[in-house]
Amino acid sequence: MTLVAILSGAGVSTDSGIPDYRGPNGVWRRDPEAEKLVTYDSYMADPEIRRRSWLMRRSSPTWSARPNAAHLAVAELERRPGFAVRVITQNVDGLHQLAGTPERKVLELHGTARTVVCTRCEARSPMGEALARVEAGEDDPPCLACGGILKSATVMFGQRLDPAVLSEAMSVAKASEVFIAVGTSLQVQPAASLTGMAADGGARVVIVNAEPTPYDELADEIIREPIGTALPRLLRELA
């Protein structure tokens, strides 16, 4: 049984219509102000930032996005005999799960946009319920349990990653025999460091990304082709 770890970044979901953040046409390059909407301190301190954040969530392309060829290829590999697949994703869109990769095999490093969490009592509920309240006229819907501030269950700038999820991701990276970093700039820590851990553990490291990354020198193979064709081909050819 070959353990294949796949670290997926925003580039995996661009073919599904979800823009990346740091690419040439990325969200942060087009609108530097947008970063405030996902910065924890700004969000907690400023009701106007929260109102704009809810509008951003309401119009997010995530809700109409469907898994693309890359997501489907990962799910297909997971079903193939002889392979144990673990997905470590920096994405919050849930498309790996929608493509058919079992939820227990997907580690969401940066949380999920499909759930909301109360910043006071930590109660969780579906994002759809909160967006329905926004649609009905609440511009900053409070927690129904305690009145606290609600946010998406994503890791905002200024927040720590979930230690349990990160610990499991590190264990997977160290134990992997094949480690594929796909659609990620490998600039955001600690996610990027998983590539180095995999290399130190003896994994065959493959980087599939349009632009150079800080970890290219550790890679056994670098693929600069479009992810939608390159990743399915790479996964089909795994022996």
What's the token pair of residue 200?
């130190």
Tell whether the torsion through CA atoms of 186, 234, 15 and 135 is positive or negative: negative
Q: Phi, psi (5° rounding) for residue 63?
A: -70, -25
- What pTM, to 2 d.p., does this model score? 0.91
Q: CB within 8 A of 43, min separation 6: which ones?
A: 37, 49, 50, 53, 151, 156
Pairing of strands 83-89, 124-126: unpaired
Strands 106-108 and 2-8: unpaired
Per-residue tokens: 207 = 């980087």
pLDDT tens-digit profile of 38-58?
999 999 999 999 999 999 999
H/E element holding 85? strand 83-89
Q: Per residue of the chain (239 residues), what is the pLDDT tens digit?
A: 999 999 999 999 999 999 876 555 555 455 667 788 999 999 999 999 999 999 999 999 999 999 999 999 999 999 999 999 999 999 999 999 999 999 999 999 999 999 999 999 999 999 999 999 999 999 999 999 999 999 999 999 999 999 999 999 999 999 999 999 999 999 989 999 999 999 999 999 999 999 999 999 999 999 999 999 999 999 999 97
- Beta carbons of 96 and 74 less than 8 angstroms apart: yes
Given a contact cutoff of 8 angstroms between Cβ atoms, the answer to whether 8 and 206 are in contact is: no
Contacts of 135 (CB under 8 A, 6+ apart): 58
* DSSP summary character for residue 138: -
Active-site residue numbers? 110
Sheet with 124-126: list strands edge to edge.
124-126, 111-118, 150-154
50 sits in which H/E element: helix 47-58
In the chain, what's the furthest Cα-to-Cα distance? 54
Ordered by start, the domain boundaries in the chain are 1-18+68-110+160-239, 24-64+115-154
Phi, psi values for residue 108, rounded to 5°: -95, 95
CATH, domain 24-64+115-154, list 1.25.40.10, 3.30.30.10, 1.10.3720.10, 3.30.1600.10 = 3.30.1600.10
- The CATH T-level fold of domain 1-18+68-110+160-239 is Rossmann fold (3.40.50)
Neighbours of 129 (CB within 10 A): 12
